[in-house]
Amino acid sequence: MAPPRHRDRGFSRRIQYGLFFGYVAAAAGIVAGLALILIARFDPLAFEGIRGLAIDVTAPFSGAGRTVARGASEVGSEFGGYFGAISENHRLRQENADLRRAIIAAHSAEMDNKRLRRLLHAIEPTAQPVTVARIVGSSLTGDRRYATLAAGRADGIRAGMPVRGPDGLIGRIAETGQHAARVLLVTDGGSSVPLRVARTGEAALGEGRGDGTLELRATTLGGQAFRRGDLLVTSGVGGVYPPGLPVAVVVAASGEIGSGRPLADPAALDFAAVLPEVAIAPPPPAPIGAAH
């Protein structure tokens, strides 16, 4: 096939002007696009109105199909579960008894804890969720890891608020529409959460890597900071995230660097609670992930 000769064919002034205008518009558009990217770099919340509108428009469709998608993924595990039911029942009974004992121990520890905190006058207000809503989808293309939440500004959600699921921290609100919002997952490359190793109390930082895991960095030098299976919880340092939320489990560790798997798997979760931003955040709502 010969090359198409459409762009410079003919002597018609009208067509030639039309082509010329097209190129001018495209070049101007590229400049405008670069300007938009620069704006996104320095003010991530610019254009939240129009972006929120897009979330509002797409969220209902995702929400409608979500139950089907979940149902399909659950069928497999239901079948598998049927056959192992008896042995699993025994195992669970055993586990239940162990946990009962552990709970009693935990209760007494909690009582001690409360008493000691009262002594120290360090009573932390427990955060009441702003709202609880369904997770209806996530961005499957593109390099940012977002999930879509079926609640927005109308429910009191603002950009920057932390979001948790039943198992742990999911992420942080990135943008809001009127009735839907985008959650920046903790695994996004732009997310970093101050953490604490639950076993030792050592401080660490969990940065998303964009491949479903977190990179963990101990902030104290020397020694083996993490062990496989360590639980990491939010430390609450710097505000934003309330302290004590479970975030991740260490899956690999070497020295001060570790790799963590987030506890709240957005693929499996249905509901999420949006928590108020902890008050000691820096004055303007910190631009999400603007730090580099």
Partner 1 sequence: MPPPDFYEPPSRTRLWAIPIGSTLVGSALAAVPIVSQIHILPPFGLMMALAWRLRRHEMWPAWIALPLGLADDLLGGAALGSAMTLWTIAFLAIDAIDRQPTWRDYWLDWRIAAGILLVCGVGQWLIAWFTGGGGLFWPVFPPIVFGILLFPAAAHFCALLDRWRLAR
CA dihedral of 154, 159, 163, 169, whole degrees rounded to 10: 180
Residue 2, interface with partner 1 (CB under 8 A)?
yes
Does residue 63 sit in helix, strand or coil? helix
Query: By CB under 8 A, what part of segment 40-69 binds partner 1?
Result: 40-41, 44, 47, 50-51, 54-55, 58-59, 61-66, 68-69
Q: Kindly state the smallest distance separating residue 71's Cβ from partner 1, in Å.
A: 11
Residue 210, interface with partner 1 (CB under 8 A)?
yes
Residue 260, interface with partner 1 (CB under 8 A)?
no
Site string for partner 1, 181-200 (x = CB under 8 A): -x--x-xxxx----------
Token output for 292: 């580099």
Cβ atoms 57, 182 nearer than 8 A = no
Taking Cα atoms as reference points, which of 248, 264, 245 lies closest to residue 183? 264
Site string for partner 1, 118-147 (x = CB under 8 A): -----------------xxxxxxxxxxxxx
Among 17, 30, 74, 75, binds partner 1 (CB under 8 A): 30
DSSP 278: B
Token output for 188: 């996004």
Among 10, 16, 17, 34, binds partner 1 (CB under 8 A): 34
Q: Kindly state the smallest distance separating residue 68's Cβ from partner 1, in Å.
A: 7
Residue 288, interface with partner 1 (CB under 8 A)?
yes
Q: Kindly state the smallest distance separating residue 116's Cβ from partner 1, in Å.
A: 39
Cβ atoms 183, 174 nearer than 8 A = yes
Site string for partner 1, 212-231 (x = CB under 8 A): x-------------------
Does residue 51 sit in helix, strand or coil? helix
Cβ atoms 189, 291 nearer than 8 A = no
Taking Cα atoms as reference points, which of 171, 173, 148, 131 lies closest to residue 65? 148
Number of residues binding to partner 1, judged by CB under 8 A:
76
Cβ nearer to partner 1, comparing 276 with 287: 287
Residue 206, interface with partner 1 (CB under 8 A)?
no
Bridge partners (DSSP) of residue 147 are 138, 183
Residue 75, interface with partner 1 (CB under 8 A)?
no
Residue 33, interface with partner 1 (CB under 8 A)?
yes
Instruction: Tell me the one-letter amino acid at 235.
Output: S
Q: Kindly state the smallest distance separating residue 139's Cβ from partner 1, in Å.
A: 5
Place of tokens 């593109």: 142
Residue 151, interface with partner 1 (CB under 8 A)?
no
Residue 8, interface with partner 1 (CB under 8 A)?
yes
Taking Cα atoms as reference points, which of 179, 129, 127, 128 lies closest to residue 149? 179
Site string for partner 1, 164-183 (x = CB under 8 A): ------------------x-
Instruction: Tell me the one-letter amino acid at 76.
Output: G
Does residue 119 sit in helix, strand or coil? helix
